[in-house]
Chain A
Amino acid sequence: MSDPTTTISINALTKRYGQTPAVENLSIAIPKGSIFGLLGTNGAGKTTTFKCMLGLARPTSGSVEFNGQPLSPEMFEHMSYVPERCALYEWMSGAEHLEMQRRSFKQYDAKRAAQLMDMFALDRKKKIGKYSKGQQTAMALVLAFSTHPDILILDEPASGLDPVHQRHVLDLVIGEAASGATVLFSSHQIGQVERAADRVAILHQGTLRLAGEVEQLKADVKVVEATFDSDAPSVNGLQSDPAIGYVQRTGKLLRVYVRGKGEEIEKAIAAKSPRSLRVLDQNLEDIFLSTVGASPSNESEG
Protein backbone atom coordinates (compact mmCIF):
# COMPACT_ATOMS: atom_id res chain seq x y z
CA MET A 1 0.00 0.00 0.00
CA SER A 2 2.82 2.42 0.68
CA ASP A 3 4.49 3.88 -2.36
CA PRO A 4 8.25 3.28 -2.25
CA THR A 5 8.87 6.70 -3.72
CA THR A 6 6.98 8.45 -0.95
CA THR A 7 9.42 9.36 1.74
CA ILE A 8 7.02 11.02 4.14
CA SER A 9 3.33 10.27 4.22
CA ILE A 10 1.02 12.11 6.55
CA ASN A 11 -2.31 10.31 6.87
CA ALA A 12 -5.42 12.03 8.20
CA LEU A 13 -3.41 13.67 10.95
CA THR A 14 -5.51 15.34 13.61
CA LYS A 15 -4.25 17.02 16.76
CA ARG A 16 -6.49 18.69 19.27
CA TYR A 17 -5.39 20.49 22.37
CA GLY A 18 -8.41 20.03 24.57
CA GLN A 19 -11.30 21.08 22.40
CA THR A 20 -9.27 23.27 20.06
CA PRO A 21 -8.14 21.60 16.85
CA ALA A 22 -4.65 22.64 15.88
CA VAL A 23 -4.51 20.32 12.86
CA GLU A 24 -7.53 18.65 11.33
CA ASN A 25 -7.47 15.68 8.99
CA LEU A 26 -4.24 16.54 7.22
CA SER A 27 -3.02 14.23 4.47
CA ILE A 28 0.12 14.96 2.48
CA ALA A 29 2.51 12.77 0.52
CA ILE A 30 6.08 13.96 0.11
CA PRO A 31 7.99 12.11 -2.60
CA LYS A 32 11.64 11.21 -2.37
CA GLY A 33 14.04 13.95 -3.38
CA SER A 34 11.40 16.63 -3.31
CA ILE A 35 11.67 20.03 -1.73
CA PHE A 36 8.29 20.50 -0.14
CA GLY A 37 7.17 23.88 1.13
CA LEU A 38 4.56 24.19 3.85
CA LEU A 39 2.88 27.56 3.82
CA GLY A 40 0.48 29.06 6.27
CA THR A 41 -0.17 32.03 8.51
CA ASN A 42 0.94 31.92 12.13
CA GLY A 43 -1.17 29.43 14.01
CA ALA A 44 -2.14 27.58 10.86
CA GLY A 45 -0.83 24.33 12.29
CA LYS A 46 2.58 24.03 10.63
CA THR A 47 4.59 23.66 13.83
CA THR A 48 2.01 21.29 15.31
CA THR A 49 2.31 19.14 12.21
CA PHE A 50 6.07 18.95 12.60
CA LYS A 51 5.76 18.08 16.27
CA CYS A 52 3.32 15.28 15.55
CA MET A 53 5.55 13.96 12.78
CA LEU A 54 8.58 13.75 15.03
CA GLY A 55 6.96 12.35 18.12
CA LEU A 56 7.24 15.57 20.09
CA ALA A 57 3.46 15.62 20.41
CA ARG A 58 1.00 12.76 20.27
CA PRO A 59 -1.58 12.99 17.47
CA THR A 60 -5.23 12.72 18.45
CA SER A 61 -5.71 10.51 15.41
CA GLY A 62 -4.01 9.73 12.12
CA SER A 63 -0.44 8.69 11.51
CA VAL A 64 2.80 9.67 9.88
CA GLU A 65 5.07 7.23 8.07
CA PHE A 66 8.62 7.52 6.86
CA ASN A 67 9.35 5.25 3.91
CA GLY A 68 6.33 3.24 4.92
CA GLN A 69 7.39 2.80 8.53
CA PRO A 70 6.23 4.57 11.66
CA LEU A 71 8.79 6.71 13.43
CA SER A 72 11.50 4.89 15.37
CA PRO A 73 14.55 6.32 17.14
CA GLU A 74 17.03 4.81 14.65
CA MET A 75 15.49 6.91 11.88
CA PHE A 76 16.97 10.00 13.46
CA GLU A 77 20.38 8.82 12.36
CA HIS A 78 19.35 9.94 8.89
CA MET A 79 16.93 12.68 9.75
CA SER A 80 17.44 16.24 10.99
CA TYR A 81 15.02 18.70 12.51
CA VAL A 82 15.43 22.43 12.97
CA PRO A 83 12.66 23.75 15.21
CA GLU A 84 11.18 27.20 15.08
CA ARG A 85 12.32 28.20 18.54
CA CYS A 86 15.89 27.70 19.67
CA ALA A 87 16.17 24.32 21.38
CA LEU A 88 19.90 24.50 22.02
CA TYR A 89 21.49 24.81 25.44
CA GLU A 90 22.20 28.42 26.32
CA TRP A 91 24.91 27.49 28.81
CA MET A 92 26.92 25.44 26.32
CA SER A 93 29.22 26.83 23.65
CA GLY A 94 29.05 26.24 19.90
CA ALA A 95 32.01 23.86 20.09
CA GLU A 96 30.31 21.84 22.84
CA HIS A 97 27.21 21.48 20.69
CA LEU A 98 29.34 20.20 17.81
CA GLU A 99 30.94 17.69 20.18
CA MET A 100 27.49 16.60 21.35
CA GLN A 101 26.52 16.09 17.73
CA ARG A 102 29.69 14.15 17.01
CA ARG A 103 28.98 11.76 19.87
CA SER A 104 25.34 11.28 18.99
CA PHE A 105 25.46 10.68 15.25
CA LYS A 106 27.62 8.25 13.35
CA GLN A 107 27.26 10.28 10.16
CA TYR A 108 28.62 13.46 11.66
CA ASP A 109 31.04 15.22 9.33
CA ALA A 110 33.41 17.50 11.25
CA LYS A 111 34.81 19.14 8.12
CA ARG A 112 31.38 20.00 6.86
CA ALA A 113 30.45 21.39 10.26
CA ALA A 114 33.55 23.59 10.30
CA GLN A 115 32.79 24.80 6.79
CA LEU A 116 29.24 25.70 7.79
CA MET A 117 30.35 27.45 10.97
CA ASP A 118 32.56 29.66 8.81
CA MET A 119 29.82 30.25 6.28
CA PHE A 120 27.50 31.59 8.96
CA ALA A 121 30.37 33.34 10.74
CA LEU A 122 29.72 31.67 14.09
CA ASP A 123 32.16 31.87 16.98
CA ARG A 124 32.34 28.34 18.34
CA LYS A 125 33.77 29.43 21.67
CA LYS A 126 30.83 31.64 22.55
CA LYS A 127 27.94 30.30 24.55
CA ILE A 128 24.68 29.91 22.69
CA GLY A 129 23.00 32.25 25.14
CA LYS A 130 25.26 35.00 23.81
CA TYR A 131 24.37 34.37 20.16
CA SER A 132 21.82 36.57 18.44
CA LYS A 133 18.53 34.98 17.40
CA GLY A 134 19.76 34.62 13.83
CA GLN A 135 23.01 33.04 14.98
CA GLN A 136 21.10 30.56 17.08
CA THR A 137 19.04 29.55 14.06
CA ALA A 138 22.26 29.29 12.06
CA MET A 139 23.83 27.05 14.72
CA ALA A 140 20.81 24.74 14.63
CA LEU A 141 21.17 24.59 10.86
CA VAL A 142 24.87 23.76 11.14
CA LEU A 143 24.03 20.87 13.45
CA ALA A 144 21.28 19.68 11.12
CA PHE A 145 23.31 19.76 7.93
CA SER A 146 26.50 18.36 9.40
CA THR A 147 25.09 14.86 9.69
CA HIS A 148 24.28 14.43 5.97
CA PRO A 149 20.64 13.57 6.58
CA ASP A 150 18.35 11.90 4.05
CA ILE A 151 15.35 13.74 5.43
CA LEU A 152 15.41 17.36 6.54
CA ILE A 153 12.55 18.96 8.40
CA LEU A 154 12.96 22.69 8.84
CA ASP A 155 10.53 24.98 10.64
CA GLU A 156 11.10 28.56 9.48
CA PRO A 157 14.81 28.06 8.78
CA ALA A 158 15.29 31.63 7.62
CA SER A 159 13.90 33.38 10.67
CA GLY A 160 16.18 36.01 12.10
CA LEU A 161 18.78 35.61 9.37
CA ASP A 162 20.05 38.46 7.24
CA PRO A 163 19.43 38.19 3.48
CA VAL A 164 22.92 36.88 2.76
CA HIS A 165 22.51 34.03 5.19
CA GLN A 166 18.97 33.38 4.03
CA ARG A 167 20.41 32.80 0.61
CA HIS A 168 22.97 30.41 2.11
CA VAL A 169 20.20 28.41 3.74
CA LEU A 170 18.38 28.15 0.45
CA ASP A 171 21.57 27.04 -1.29
CA LEU A 172 22.16 24.42 1.38
CA VAL A 173 18.64 23.08 1.02
CA ILE A 174 18.97 22.90 -2.75
CA GLY A 175 22.39 21.31 -2.49
CA GLU A 176 21.14 18.59 -0.17
CA ALA A 177 18.09 17.92 -2.33
CA ALA A 178 20.29 17.69 -5.39
CA SER A 179 22.28 15.03 -3.54
CA GLY A 180 19.11 13.04 -2.97
CA ALA A 181 17.76 14.31 0.35
CA THR A 182 14.07 15.01 0.88
CA VAL A 183 13.34 18.39 2.42
CA LEU A 184 10.18 19.54 4.13
CA PHE A 185 10.26 23.14 5.27
CA SER A 186 7.91 25.85 6.32
CA SER A 187 8.60 29.47 5.53
CA HIS A 188 7.03 32.88 5.34
CA GLN A 189 9.41 33.81 2.53
CA ILE A 190 7.05 32.79 -0.24
CA GLY A 191 9.37 34.06 -2.94
CA GLN A 192 12.05 31.66 -1.79
CA VAL A 193 9.60 28.79 -1.57
CA GLU A 194 8.53 29.56 -5.13
CA ARG A 195 12.04 29.10 -6.46
CA ALA A 196 13.27 26.25 -4.35
CA ALA A 197 10.22 24.07 -3.75
CA ASP A 198 8.77 21.74 -6.32
CA ARG A 199 5.67 21.12 -4.25
CA VAL A 200 3.74 23.16 -1.73
CA ALA A 201 0.86 22.73 0.66
CA ILE A 202 -1.09 25.63 2.08
CA LEU A 203 -2.46 25.22 5.58
CA HIS A 204 -5.03 27.52 7.09
CA GLN A 205 -6.65 27.22 10.49
CA GLY A 206 -5.48 23.66 10.79
CA THR A 207 -6.83 22.33 7.51
CA LEU A 208 -5.22 21.72 4.14
CA ARG A 209 -6.51 24.29 1.64
CA LEU A 210 -4.35 23.66 -1.37
CA ALA A 211 -1.56 21.31 -2.33
CA GLY A 212 0.32 20.33 -5.46
CA GLU A 213 3.29 21.00 -7.67
CA VAL A 214 4.25 24.65 -7.75
CA GLU A 215 4.28 24.95 -11.52
CA GLN A 216 0.96 23.12 -11.75
CA LEU A 217 -0.70 25.44 -9.26
CA LYS A 218 0.62 28.51 -11.01
CA ALA A 219 -0.61 27.20 -14.33
CA ASP A 220 -4.00 26.36 -12.91
CA VAL A 221 -4.71 29.37 -10.79
CA LYS A 222 -5.42 32.53 -12.75
CA VAL A 223 -7.30 35.77 -12.37
CA VAL A 224 -9.78 36.73 -15.07
CA GLU A 225 -9.99 40.50 -15.02
CA ALA A 226 -12.62 42.43 -16.94
CA THR A 227 -13.69 46.05 -17.02
CA PHE A 228 -17.18 47.02 -18.08
CA ASP A 229 -18.73 50.22 -19.39
CA SER A 230 -21.16 50.30 -16.49
CA ASP A 231 -21.05 48.57 -13.15
CA ALA A 232 -19.68 45.07 -13.34
CA PRO A 233 -22.42 42.44 -13.57
CA SER A 234 -22.80 39.86 -10.88
CA VAL A 235 -21.60 36.38 -11.64
CA ASN A 236 -24.03 34.58 -9.39
CA GLY A 237 -24.53 31.84 -11.89
CA LEU A 238 -20.84 31.10 -11.94
CA GLN A 239 -20.26 31.46 -8.23
CA SER A 240 -21.39 27.94 -7.46
CA ASP A 241 -18.72 26.58 -9.78
CA PRO A 242 -16.07 24.94 -7.57
CA ALA A 243 -13.33 26.22 -9.87
CA ILE A 244 -14.06 29.77 -8.77
CA GLY A 245 -12.19 30.70 -5.60
CA TYR A 246 -12.98 34.31 -5.11
CA VAL A 247 -14.92 37.05 -6.85
CA GLN A 248 -14.09 40.71 -6.47
CA ARG A 249 -16.38 43.40 -7.88
CA THR A 250 -15.30 46.99 -7.49
CA GLY A 251 -17.32 49.45 -9.53
CA LYS A 252 -16.59 48.70 -13.16
CA LEU A 253 -13.90 46.16 -12.41
CA LEU A 254 -14.52 42.46 -12.07
CA ARG A 255 -11.87 40.00 -10.96
CA VAL A 256 -12.52 36.32 -10.74
CA TYR A 257 -9.95 33.98 -9.23
CA VAL A 258 -10.20 30.63 -10.94
CA ARG A 259 -8.58 27.29 -10.43
CA GLY A 260 -8.44 25.28 -13.62
CA LYS A 261 -11.23 25.86 -16.22
CA GLY A 262 -9.73 29.28 -16.87
CA GLU A 263 -10.81 29.38 -20.49
CA GLU A 264 -14.42 28.45 -19.76
CA ILE A 265 -14.76 31.16 -17.18
CA GLU A 266 -13.06 33.59 -19.51
CA LYS A 267 -15.58 32.80 -22.23
CA ALA A 268 -18.49 33.11 -19.83
CA ILE A 269 -17.33 36.56 -18.82
CA ALA A 270 -16.58 37.55 -22.41
CA ALA A 271 -20.23 36.77 -23.13
CA LYS A 272 -21.18 39.66 -20.85
CA SER A 273 -19.50 42.10 -23.26
CA PRO A 274 -16.74 43.63 -21.20
CA ARG A 275 -14.80 46.60 -22.47
CA SER A 276 -11.53 44.79 -21.83
CA LEU A 277 -10.67 41.30 -20.72
CA ARG A 278 -7.46 39.71 -19.74
CA VAL A 279 -6.20 36.69 -17.88
CA LEU A 280 -3.48 37.29 -15.32
CA ASP A 281 -1.05 34.82 -13.91
CA GLN A 282 -0.68 34.45 -10.21
CA ASN A 283 2.56 34.06 -8.46
CA LEU A 284 2.73 31.85 -5.40
CA GLU A 285 2.28 34.75 -3.01
CA ASP A 286 -0.95 35.79 -4.74
CA ILE A 287 -2.17 32.21 -4.68
CA PHE A 288 -1.34 31.98 -0.99
CA LEU A 289 -3.04 35.23 -0.06
CA SER A 290 -6.19 34.44 -1.96
CA THR A 291 -6.26 30.93 -0.50
CA VAL A 292 -6.06 32.08 3.10
CA GLY A 293 -8.01 35.26 2.68
CA ALA A 294 -10.73 33.71 0.60
CA SER A 295 -14.18 32.68 1.74
CA PRO A 296 -14.60 29.26 3.37
CA SER A 297 -16.24 27.96 0.20
CA ASN A 298 -12.74 27.20 -1.05
CA GLU A 299 -12.29 23.49 -1.63
CA SER A 300 -8.91 21.84 -1.42
CA GLU A 301 -7.52 19.31 -3.81
CA GLY A 302 -4.63 16.96 -3.24
Chain B
Amino acid sequence: MSSVFTVDPHSGVPIYLQLIEQIKRSVALGVLAPGEQLPTVKQLATDLTLNPNTVARVYRELERDGIIETSPGRGSFIRSNGGVGNATRAAADVAAAAIDAAVREAKSIGIASTQAHDLFRRAIARWYPDHHETEDRSL
Protein backbone atom coordinates (compact mmCIF):
# COMPACT_ATOMS: atom_id res chain seq x y z
CA MET B 1 0.00 0.00 0.00
CA SER B 2 2.76 2.36 0.86
CA SER B 3 4.14 2.21 -2.64
CA VAL B 4 1.12 4.29 -3.56
CA PHE B 5 2.74 7.25 -1.78
CA THR B 6 5.84 9.08 -2.92
CA VAL B 7 7.36 12.23 -1.54
CA ASP B 8 9.76 14.68 -3.10
CA PRO B 9 11.99 16.47 -0.61
CA HIS B 10 12.90 19.00 -3.27
CA SER B 11 9.46 20.17 -4.24
CA GLY B 12 9.38 23.05 -1.78
CA VAL B 13 6.35 21.64 -0.06
CA PRO B 14 7.18 20.18 3.36
CA ILE B 15 7.31 16.39 3.26
CA TYR B 16 4.65 15.94 5.91
CA LEU B 17 2.23 18.12 3.96
CA GLN B 18 2.85 16.12 0.80
CA LEU B 19 2.06 12.90 2.61
CA ILE B 20 -1.05 14.34 4.24
CA GLU B 21 -2.29 15.51 0.84
CA GLN B 22 -1.65 12.16 -0.75
CA ILE B 23 -3.45 10.24 1.94
CA LYS B 24 -6.42 12.61 1.82
CA ARG B 25 -6.47 12.23 -1.93
CA SER B 26 -6.46 8.44 -1.66
CA VAL B 27 -9.36 8.56 0.75
CA ALA B 28 -11.30 11.02 -1.40
CA LEU B 29 -10.84 8.81 -4.43
CA GLY B 30 -11.69 5.65 -2.55
CA VAL B 31 -8.27 4.06 -2.95
CA LEU B 32 -8.26 3.84 0.82
CA ALA B 33 -11.63 2.58 1.97
CA PRO B 34 -13.39 3.59 5.19
CA GLY B 35 -12.41 1.26 8.01
CA GLU B 36 -9.21 0.26 6.25
CA GLN B 37 -6.13 0.02 8.44
CA LEU B 38 -3.11 2.18 7.78
CA PRO B 39 0.41 0.83 8.31
CA THR B 40 2.08 1.58 11.62
CA VAL B 41 4.20 4.70 11.92
CA LYS B 42 7.32 2.54 11.98
CA GLN B 43 6.23 0.57 8.94
CA LEU B 44 5.39 3.58 6.84
CA ALA B 45 8.54 5.44 7.90
CA THR B 46 10.67 2.49 6.85
CA ASP B 47 8.80 1.92 3.60
CA LEU B 48 9.07 5.54 2.53
CA THR B 49 12.50 6.16 4.11
CA LEU B 50 11.16 9.02 6.16
CA ASN B 51 11.79 10.23 9.64
CA PRO B 52 9.35 8.48 12.00
CA ASN B 53 8.47 11.77 13.72
CA THR B 54 7.38 13.13 10.36
CA VAL B 55 5.06 10.18 9.85
CA ALA B 56 3.78 10.46 13.40
CA ARG B 57 2.98 14.10 12.75
CA VAL B 58 1.12 13.16 9.57
CA TYR B 59 -1.03 10.70 11.48
CA ARG B 60 -1.72 13.27 14.20
CA GLU B 61 -2.83 15.89 11.71
CA LEU B 62 -4.97 13.38 9.79
CA GLU B 63 -6.67 12.51 13.05
CA ARG B 64 -7.18 16.17 13.86
CA ASP B 65 -8.67 16.73 10.41
CA GLY B 66 -11.07 13.86 10.96
CA ILE B 67 -9.70 11.59 8.26
CA ILE B 68 -8.41 8.78 10.44
CA GLU B 69 -8.90 7.55 13.96
CA THR B 70 -6.26 5.88 16.12
CA SER B 71 -7.01 3.44 18.90
CA PRO B 72 -4.04 2.60 21.11
CA GLY B 73 -2.96 -0.99 20.68
CA ARG B 74 -5.10 -1.55 17.61
CA GLY B 75 -3.71 0.91 15.10
CA SER B 76 -4.87 3.66 12.79
CA PHE B 77 -7.93 3.31 10.56
CA ILE B 78 -9.69 5.43 7.97
CA ARG B 79 -12.77 6.88 9.63
CA SER B 80 -15.92 5.13 8.57
CA ASN B 81 -18.23 8.03 9.20
CA GLY B 82 -17.35 11.33 7.69
CA GLY B 83 -13.85 10.34 6.75
CA VAL B 84 -14.54 10.47 3.04
CA GLY B 85 -16.40 13.76 3.31
CA ASN B 86 -13.55 15.33 5.22
CA ALA B 87 -11.09 14.00 2.71
CA THR B 88 -12.99 15.28 -0.26
CA ARG B 89 -13.16 18.73 1.30
CA ALA B 90 -9.47 18.52 2.00
CA ALA B 91 -8.79 17.45 -1.56
CA ALA B 92 -10.58 20.54 -2.74
CA ASP B 93 -8.28 22.60 -0.54
CA VAL B 94 -5.28 20.94 -2.15
CA ALA B 95 -6.55 21.75 -5.61
CA ALA B 96 -7.21 25.34 -4.57
CA ALA B 97 -3.67 25.70 -3.27
CA ALA B 98 -2.20 24.29 -6.48
CA ILE B 99 -4.23 26.62 -8.68
CA ASP B 100 -3.31 29.56 -6.48
CA ALA B 101 0.37 28.71 -6.78
CA ALA B 102 0.08 28.38 -10.56
CA VAL B 103 -1.50 31.79 -10.93
CA ARG B 104 1.09 33.36 -8.65
CA GLU B 105 3.88 31.79 -10.70
CA ALA B 106 2.31 33.09 -13.90
CA LYS B 107 2.16 36.60 -12.47
CA SER B 108 5.74 36.48 -11.26
CA ILE B 109 7.02 35.71 -14.74
CA GLY B 110 5.08 38.59 -16.21
CA ILE B 111 1.99 36.95 -17.72
CA ALA B 112 -0.95 39.38 -18.03
CA SER B 113 -4.20 38.47 -16.34
CA THR B 114 -6.16 37.96 -19.57
CA GLN B 115 -3.47 35.66 -20.86
CA ALA B 116 -3.46 33.75 -17.57
CA HIS B 117 -7.21 33.35 -17.81
CA ASP B 118 -6.84 32.01 -21.32
CA LEU B 119 -4.22 29.48 -20.24
CA PHE B 120 -6.55 28.35 -17.47
CA ARG B 121 -9.38 27.80 -19.92
CA ARG B 122 -7.13 25.77 -22.19
CA ALA B 123 -6.05 23.59 -19.30
CA ILE B 124 -9.70 22.92 -18.36
CA ALA B 125 -10.49 22.01 -21.94
CA ARG B 126 -7.56 19.63 -22.03
CA TRP B 127 -8.14 17.80 -18.75
CA TYR B 128 -11.93 17.95 -18.57
CA PRO B 129 -12.85 17.01 -22.15
CA ASP B 130 -16.52 16.73 -21.21
CA HIS B 131 -16.65 20.24 -19.81
CA HIS B 132 -18.55 22.73 -21.93
CA GLU B 133 -17.64 26.34 -21.48
CA THR B 134 -20.52 28.62 -20.62
CA GLU B 135 -20.20 32.34 -20.98
CA ASP B 136 -19.23 33.50 -17.57
CA ARG B 137 -18.96 37.24 -17.29
CA SER B 138 -18.37 37.23 -13.60
CA LEU B 139 -14.69 36.48 -14.14
Contact = CB atoms under 8 A, between A and B. Distances in A.
Nearest to A175: B46
A171 B46 contact: yes
A129 interface: no
A167 interface: yes
Contact of B15 (A174, A192, A195, A275): A195
B53 interface: yes
10 contacts: A35-B53, A175-B45, A178-B42, A194-B9, A195-B9, A198-B51, A214-B51, A215-B14, A215-B16, A215-B54
A34 B49 CA distance: 15
A174 B110 contact: no
Contacts of A174: 45-46, 49-52
Given A179-B42, A196-B51, A197-B51, 16 more contacts: A167-B49, A171-B49, A174-B50, A174-B52, A175-B45, A177-B52, A178-B41, A192-B49, A195-B9, A196-B49, A198-B54, A214-B51, A215-B14, A276-B110, A278-B108, A278-B109
A121 to B, nearest CB: 20
B46 A195 contact: no
Contacts of A277: 108
Contacts of B74: none
Contacts of A167: 49
A102 interface: no
Nearest to B12: A281
B9 A284 contact: yes
A59 interface: no
A197 B14 CA distance: 13
A219 B14 contact: yes
B105 interface: yes
A170 B47 CA distance: 11
Contacts of A280: 12
A63 interface: no
Contacts of B14: 215, 218-219
A191 interface: yes
Given A215-B14, A278-B105, A33 B49 contact: no
Interface in B5-60: 7, 9-10, 12, 14-16, 41-42, 45-46, 49-54
Interface in A263-302: 275-278, 280-281, 283-284
Interface in A65-90: none
Contacts of A179: 42
Interface string A241-279: 000000000000000000000000000000000011110
Nearest to A34: B53
B50 to A, nearest CB: 6
A198 B16 CA distance: 11
Contacts of B50: 174, 195-196
B117 to A, nearest CB: 19
Nearest to B48: A195
Q: Which of B45, B52, B109 has the most CB of A within 10 A?
A: B52
Interface string A142-180: 000000000000000000000000010011001101110
A195 B16 CA distance: 11
